[in-house]
Amino acid sequence: MGLTGDGHVHSEWSWDVGGPGGPHSAAGLMDAMCQRAVQIGLPALAFTEHLDVSSWPIKPEDMLEQLRPLISEDGILTPPPLDAEGYLDSIERCRHKFPELRILTGVEFGQPHLEEAGAREVVDLDALDRVNGSLHTIPLTDEPGSARSEPYTLYRRWPANKVIRQNLSEIPRMLAGSSTFTVLCHIDYPVRYWPKDQEGPFDPKRFEDEFRQAMRAIAGTERALELNVGGPLRPWIPQWWAEEGGRAISFGSDAHTTDWLAGNFYEAMAMAEHFGFRPGHRPEDFWSR
């Protein structure tokens, strides 16, 4: 079987890559991603650029050096807005230049349950091929409107267990508060930053009930779950997802550089197949069971 489509790719139009202009510009990355896709036999990809319309506190040492100027003096990160027009022009140019490739438009919408009105001012969400929903920040309390932080910041302030549990308990609110996204991205996002030096290796069994509850909630909304496989494969994700009634998965490398495109896809496809998921007709389709 050839590669399946990559449903989560970033280019210069994502603020954390460096943007299309300026001193750390990543101009030309979309073009380079398409060239790389053709070279490795990747038939389809979705450019899901970061769409963040909120601000959150962050420590400069938690950010790449070139992104630190985005942090204000009082320690608040305000991501620059997506240039939707420039992005869509760039997609059109690439579709013209790489006719053999299926190129989908999209965003990775951060905290979609909090930011829908603001996001709709930036881009016409309904006109995009793919809207991925992500939780990159966690509320500090369960009160509505609570301040939020990224998991890797919270690991320094909270017991590690609490970061994972608080993140998962936010998922039902995220599902209920937004109708815009069709794929829930990287349910294992806080696991990426798990403090293994202090805690030892991450043990998913410690959080099995909470992960399963979150997955049941996602499955109940007919959304797809992303296997975010640029990093380590986690077989318990498709296993528990299937067991909790999940029907559809999207494969995402979360590539921010060309060498990560479709990273680990062959192993991830074999893993998904093992748990009963099968490809659709088109390479960009979700796999389903």
Q: Mask 245-284, x = binds Zn ion (CB under 5 A)?
A: ---------x------------------------------
Residue whose CB is less far from Zn ion, 12 or 254: 254
CB of residue 122 vs Zn ion: minimum separation in angstroms?
A: 17
Please select the residue that binds Zn ion; options are 134, 178, 182, 250, rule is CB under 5 A: 134
Residue with tokens 């280019």: 11
Residue whose CB is less far from Zn ion, 51 or 84: 51
CB of residue 186 vs Zn ion: minimum separation in angstroms?
A: 6
Q: Cα–Cα–Cα angle for 75, 76, 82, nearest 5°? A: 145
Residue whose CB is less far from Zn ion, 7 or 275: 7
Q: What 3-state class would DSSP assign to 251?
A: strand
Using rule CB under 5 A, residue 132 touches Zn ion? no
Closest CA to 90 of 52, 126, 49: 49
CB of residue 276 vs Zn ion: minimum separation in angstroms?
A: 26
The runs of H, that is alpha helices, within the chain are 29-40, 84-97, 116-122, 151-154, 160-176, 189-192, 196-199, 208-219, 236-243, 265-274
Contact between residue 185 and residue 226 where contact means Cβ atoms under 8 Å apart: yes
Question: What is the size of the binding site for Zn ion (CB under 5 A)?
Answer: 3
CB of residue 110 vs Zn ion: minimum separation in angstroms?
A: 7
Please select the residue that binds Zn ion; options are 12, 52, 108, 226, rule is CB under 5 A: 108
Closest CA to 129 of 103, 164, 148: 103
Residues that bind Zn ion (CB under 5 A): 108, 134, 254
